């Protein structure tokens, strides 16, 4: 049941009208792509790369799971995602939170034969599924195509540091509570993602941020094969040239209390997908 206040919104009315009118664009769809993960882990860039593929359209922070919760139908959700992709390119020039995700010469904000559609909403999607997993089963029923889930993982020391820095008021030095707040948030999401992976109810691909930077051709090809997109040579060549040469090591930008670094190490050991980082730290 759609809430009455949502029925009267411009977004709902437009998506109902134009989603129906433009529904023929969806006839070739083969997969829905969504993200789980952690803020500041690099999934925005991967979402932008997928949006640049000629057969894909990826919304930037549309929050498709919330549209499911609000009662939007298939055509409406897909219209919102496509429209967001178009606006993000045309009006915002693919700039988000101060970063440019523009990939010139490809298909951001447009497509030829739409085969994959999705939403780049990672950290919040994890929290939503942790609270109510039925949102995922409802999404599956609505989209009526396979749902492919990308789990982007970054070194927790760098990931948590960036989360702290990006959420601090200007010139504020983080106190112990700032550290603890982001550590707890990160591992809350790690716990949920671990349960989602172990449930066997979702088709999830782990993507390591550092591996993507080290060998972007290999990792991008792996992602494309997973979601069902053709790994065109020209597309891969243009996209991989946008990848940084080295990962950003942000952990040294803050003065970390040793006991909190030890806490991260100990908590990370509980998750198989994070153990590699702790083992590397020990070497």
**Residue 118, pLDDT above cutoff 90:** yes
Burial class of residue 211, CB neighbours in 10 A (0-12, 13-18, 19+): middle
Going by pLDDT thresholds of 50, 70 and 90, the confidence category of residue 169 is confident
- Residue 282 scores a pLDDT above 60: no
CATH class of 4-282: alpha beta
Summarised one tens digit per residue, pLDDT across range 46-89 is: 999 999 999 999 998 899 999 999 999 999 999 999 999 999 89
Place of tokens 């951001």: 108
pLDDT at 283: 43
Average pLDDT of the residues in 189-216: 97
Report, as an integer, the average pLDDT of 20-38: 96
Looking at per-residue pLDDT, the higher value among 95 and 49 belongs to: 49
């Amino acid at each position: 049941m759609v809430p009455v206040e949502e029925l009267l919104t411009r977004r709902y009315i437009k998506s109902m009208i134009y989603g129906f009118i433009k529904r023929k664009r969806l006839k070739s769809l083969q997969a829905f792509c969504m993200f789980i993960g952690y803020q500041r882990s690099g999934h925005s860039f991967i979402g932008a790369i997928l949006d640049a593929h000629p057969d894909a359209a990826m919304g930037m922070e549309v929050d498709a799971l919330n549209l499911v919760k609000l009662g939007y139908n298939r055509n409406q959700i897909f219209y919102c995602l496509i429209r967001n992709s178009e606006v993000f390119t045309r009006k915002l020039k693919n700039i988000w939170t101060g970063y440019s995700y523009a990939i010139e010469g490809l298909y951001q904000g447009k497509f030829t034969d739409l085969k994959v559609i999705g939403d780049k909403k990672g950290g919040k999607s994890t929290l939503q599924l942790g609270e109510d997993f039925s949102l995922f089963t409802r999404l599956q029923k609505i989209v009526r195509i396979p749902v492919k889930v990308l789990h982007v993982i970054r070194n927790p020391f760098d990931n948590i540091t960036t989360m702290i820095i990006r959420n601090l008021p200007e010139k504020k030095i983080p106190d112990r509570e700032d550290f603890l707040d982001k550590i707890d948030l990160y591992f809350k999401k790690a716990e949920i993602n671990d349960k989602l992976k172990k449930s066997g109810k979702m088709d999830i691909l782990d993507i390591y941020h550092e591996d993507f930077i080290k060998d972007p051709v290999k990792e991008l090809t792996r992602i494309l094969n997973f979601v069902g997109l053709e790994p065109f040579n020209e597309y891969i060549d243009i996209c991989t040239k946008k990848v940084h040469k080295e990962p950003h090591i942000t952990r040294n930008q803050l003065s970390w209390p040793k006991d909190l670094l030890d806490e991260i190490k100990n908590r990370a050991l509980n998750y198989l997908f994070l153990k590699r980082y702790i083992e590397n730290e020990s070497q």
